[in-house]
Structures are given as structure tokens and as C-alpha cells.
Chains A and B, each alone.
Chain A
């Protein structure tokens, strides 16, 4: 099947004539949706977003319209909108392109969404490492303010909203919405427990707050442009719109591709766009959407229900590119940042690399995650350093099982899922590696032979 891109969010990105200034954005229809939508009532806009069936693009895939409908207006407290631009999920780099190359699209999306939910103030929480991105957004906001798209009395509508660009400082956990809120309050980014701290009821300063991903807010602009029902026709039922797939790792052409949801398969994406594995190699494993999602081993088969309702079987490469299909295969498309690994990859080292990441990023609030992620790192690193024991295989799985579901936020699952999927799926590799190490140690008076660590190459 031939696969084609359908660029909606990325329509102008990387086009040679396109620049980040407001004049250029307006030349290509920029802020027209804002003009059009400010003639309508906020409630109508919320209904459009509900009709669109849009699912959030930050990884969890929660329906955006439903999230907005949870807002507690009765409390009479001010409403806040936060754009989550703390893109930190390894493998994901889609929001970076929007921020650096089309900032006004994001700002239009933020103002539209703020108007729809009647927000008093909006924030863009951008990760601290994106120094340039924050400067680009600041400048874009000033340009938009000069033309009355941001600030007081926007386009004479009587509605006012300011946007504050707020920089994070290198914490993965700030991507978690309640951690982000704590961080924005000037504290350590310790995620809050739900209930009672559902952001739509008790968010920033204990006021009703909506936190949406950069891409989600850009999608809102296009929903309001074409109408929710029209938008819902893009893609497949249950997952409307496009997904921006970022592919990285062992692939000939890493890059980002915007594809209509469900149109095309993993094979189409990684062979036709990605150019397949490096010459002379073959794919061994794929992590579908940011490293927290469960890994897929090329060669495994999934019993699934096909769109027409009949039973079927898919290999990893046959999975259609929509959220429902990945869910049927026991994983998730997450942030749609796909990492490919070829047959030269040591899967134990790959897991150790991720365990080091989660141990570093655990906020330390919940014991299972704080202690567990550190032990996972220590054990897998020891195996990489030649000190593996057969019982480590079950131990890693066991620790992961005791983290997932026992923490305040989803970082527990994020740290556990890679172990819970890697260990059973690649058990043969673990056993082979550890057996060789045990033999080597016998010949060397118990001293570990290899000290390769988690270098991967």
C-alpha cells in the first residue's frame, strides 16, 4: 500500500518560503480561524472540539473535548490554560518543530482554546533546554499582541488573555500535568494525587486548569477551521485527525511524517518513509511511541479484531497507524515517537539505558518508583558489566511489577512497562548473555569479564 503524508499541522513547516514571523503566518491564512471563531460563543467551540473526537497528543490520548467538559465553572474561580511544551519523552520531537518553525500556529491554538474554555490566563510551559524556542515564542507573542490577537480585548471582542512563556529546568516529570502545575507554582515538580487534584477542578493555585499538549492545541485550530464533524472524518473512527510520527534510532532516514490516523501501517512508515534498516541489517524491535510504551519484537503475532469485526492476525509491521490498533497489540502509540532497533542491538543494554533514564527522572516522592527505578538501573547495569546472574531476569520483571500501579503518577508505569515488555519478549537474549557471563566468570575466578556498560555501540 502506498502511503502518503497529509500535512495539516506541519503544512508550512520546512517549506523554503516559510518563516516564523507573523506576516508570513498571515500570508498563509494565519489568525483567520481566530477572527472567524471569535464571532462565535465559547460553548460552540467546545462542542466542535467534542464533535471532532480529538484525542490528546501528549501520550495518554485522553479525549480533549471530554477533558474540557470536566472544568468546574461553578466554583467561580479563575480558569487557567497551560500548554504543555515540556517535550521530554525520549523518541519524541514533534512539538519542537512547531515551536521552532511555526510558533504562531501554536499561539493561535492557545488563544482559541483559552477563549473556548474562558481562561483568564494562559501559560506555555516550555522545557528549559529549548532556549531558542522560548525566545521565538516570546517574540511571536509580542508580534501577536501588537495586532490584538493576544492581550487585552482581543479583536474588540471584550475577551482578554495573556500568554506567559514559562521555562522548565530539565525535569522529565514536569511533563506530567500535575507535576507541571506544581513546578509552575514555583515548587518541586511532585505530581499530585488524583482524586482530589484533578486539574480541571483543583489545578494551578487550586483553580480549574486545563493542561494540553502543543500538538493538541494546534489540532484545535484546525478543528475550528474545518468544523468538528468534518475533522472527525479524517482518520479512523475512534482516532480522528493526523498523527505526527517521529522515527529515530536504527533507520536509514530518521525524521517526522504527518500521516492520517490509520492510513498506512508500521511497515509503510518505517520502510517507505524511513527507508528501512541500515544496509545489511534487519529490524529486531520497535518502541512505538516514546520509550515508556511497551516494546514490540519483530516476529511476534497478535490476535486482533479487524475493522470489519472479523478475527485476524497481525505481525508488528502490519499494525495500522492509529491508537486503537496499537492498543489491540498490547501497547500504545503514546506520543508517536517511534524508535527502531536493528539486529545488532543488545536488548539488555537498550533496557539498561532506559532504566538509567527513569532512575534519573523519578521525582522521589513515591517509594516504589524512587527505589524501584534505581534498583532496576543497578541490576541491568550490572548485567551489562558482566556481573549477570540467572535470577536477575525474574528479579527485573518482579521489581517492575511492583512499581506499576503503586505510584501517584504514571511515571511508575513508564518505568515499569519497558522492563515488563522487554524481559519476557527477549528472555532468550537475557539467558544467553548471562550464561556467557557466568562461564566467563568461572574462568576468571569470579571476576566479571566484560565491562561494556550501557553504551549500546
Chain B
């Protein structure tokens, strides 16, 4: 694992801000995941050393929180909210449509490695349901009717950019 200088500097600035080192756990794991795409066994050991805890104490956190993943995913992470307000407005149909149009099965990564489509629980944007998060951005009012166009735009946008070198 080779973390970027930016991430290393960030981590070193972050830890002393907390009264106890261990409190920086989630923030460090977020930073590693952003840098590496996922949290490897090596990353867990590195974090444990940084925070002066045992690797199992990091591992149990990584496995508890749904946002952390231990394997790489597609270049774009498509997260469809499935909880009540979104479901009432067609979230399941939106998900069907995204799976079909992005050629990606739910919970898997597309064959070209571009997309991972997942269901997530409520993301606190119920007034503009259904909502879809792509990476760190929220997209609102993605109705079943709008989903095919949304998928097409997402595909064009993804194809236009080079895959980041880490993959």
C-alpha cells in the first residue's frame, strides 16, 4: 500500500486534533478508502499502528460500518436509496433501470469495471425522492421515467474520463 503524500499529511494533521488518537479511526479509514479505493488488510495494520491499537480493533470497525469496503469496486459507485419514501416513488424501478442500462447486476460490478450498483438505506433527502448517489454526489428526483437518461449521461461522463491509475 502506497498512500499519497496528501493523505499522509492529512492523517498526521488529523490525529493530534483528537483528545485520544483512537477517535480519529473513522476519519483515517475514510481517507484511506478515498486514496486506495478500498481498505486492505495492509491498510488495517497501518491504521492500527498509527492509532496505537491492535489490528482487530480496526478490523471490527471496518466490518461494522457499511460505507467501508474491503475489496475494490467499479470506477463509479451508484447507490440507490431503497427506504420507504424513495420506494413509494419508484426506487425499485429506478434500480431495475440502472442495472439494465449500466449492464450491472445489483451488488456487483459491471464487466467493463465502470459501475457498481448497490441499494443503500435512507440518505436523508426524502423530499426529493427517489434519490441516487453517485460516488460523493447526490442526484435528486431520479424517477423511473428519468432513470434511462440518467444512466446514459452517467455512462457518457464515465467513458469520457480516464480511469484513475490506482485501478
Report yes or no: A339 in contact with B85, Cβ–Cβ below 8 A: yes
**A 26-55 contacts with B by CB, 8 A:** none
Report yes or no: B136 in contact with A132, Cβ–Cβ below 8 A: yes
**B 65-83 contacts with A by CB, 8 A:** 65-68, 82-83
Task: Please name all residues of chain B whose beta carbon is closer than 8 Å to the beta carbon of A360 when the two chains form the complex.
Answer: 121
**A 151-170 contacts with B by CB, 8 A:** 162, 164, 166-170
Query: B61: CB under 8 A from chain A?
Result: yes
Query: B139: CB under 8 A from chain A?
Result: no
Task: Please name all residues of chain B whose beta carbon is closer than 8 Å to the beta carbon of A457 when the two chains form the complex.
Answer: 87-90, 92-93
Interface size on A, residues (CB 8 A): 61
Residue among B18, B67, B82, B129 making CB contact with A169, cutoff 8 Å:
B67
Report yes or no: A254 in contact with B126, Cβ–Cβ below 8 A: yes
Q: Which of A185, A247, A250 has the most CB of B within 10 A?
A: A185
Interface size class of B (residues with CB under 8 A): 35 or more
Report yes or no: B126 in contact with A121, Cβ–Cβ below 8 A: no
Residue among A90, A128, A170 making CB contact with B84, cutoff 8 Å:
A90
A93 to B53: give the CA distance in the assembly, Å. Answer: 36
Report yes or no: A167 in contact with B27, Cβ–Cβ below 8 A: yes
Report yes or no: B87 in contact with A353, Cβ–Cβ below 8 A: yes
Report yes or no: B64 in contact with A90, Cβ–Cβ below 8 A: no
Task: Please name all residues of chain A whose beta carbon is closer than 8 Å to the beta carbon of B83 when the two chains form the complex.
Answer: 90, 291, 353-354, 357
Report yes or no: A170 in contact with B66, Cβ–Cβ below 8 A: yes
Residue among A93, A345, A353 making CB contact with B125, cutoff 8 Å:
A93
Report yes or no: A186 in contact with B89, Cβ–Cβ below 8 A: no
Tell me the nearest residue of chain A to B127, going by C-beta.
A254
Contact mask for chain A residues 85-98; partner B; CB cutoff 8 A; 1 contact, 0 none: 00111111101100
A361 to B25: give the CA distance in the assembly, Å. Answer: 21
Residue among A87, A90, A188, A454 making CB contact with B60, cutoff 8 Å:
A188
Query: A430: CB under 8 A from chain B?
Result: no
Given contacts A90-B83, A457-B93, contact A171 B122 (CB under 8 A): no
Q: Which of B19, B51, B122, B136 has the most CB of A within 10 A?
A: B122
Report yes or no: B136 in contact with A131, Cβ–Cβ below 8 A: yes
Query: A172: CB under 8 A from chain B?
Result: yes
Given contacts A93-B127, A169-B67, A291-B84, contact A185 B22 (CB under 8 A): yes
Given contacts A172-B121, A184-B23, contact A354 B84 (CB under 8 A): yes
Report yes or no: B18 in contact with A248, Cβ–Cβ below 8 A: no
Tell me the nearest residue of chain A to B47, going by C-beta.
A186
Task: Please name all residues of chain B whose beta carbon is closer than 8 Å to the beta carbon of A350 when the two chains form the complex.
Answer: 84, 88
Given contacts A168-B26, A185-B23, contact A249 B18 (CB under 8 A): no
Report yes or no: B22 in contact with A169, Cβ–Cβ below 8 A: no
A170 to B19: give the CA distance in the assembly, Å. Answer: 24
Query: B20: CB under 8 A from chain A?
Result: yes
Given contacts A170-B67, A189-B65, 7 further A-B contacts (CB under 8 A): A90-B85, A93-B124, A95-B124, A339-B126, A354-B84, A357-B121, A455-B87
- 7 A-B pairs in the complex with CB atoms less than 8 angstroms apart: A92-B126, A169-B68, A186-B24, A248-B129, A254-B128, A256-B127, A455-B93
The 5 closest A-B pairs by CB, nearest first: A186-B25, A169-B65, A131-B136, A248-B126, A186-B22
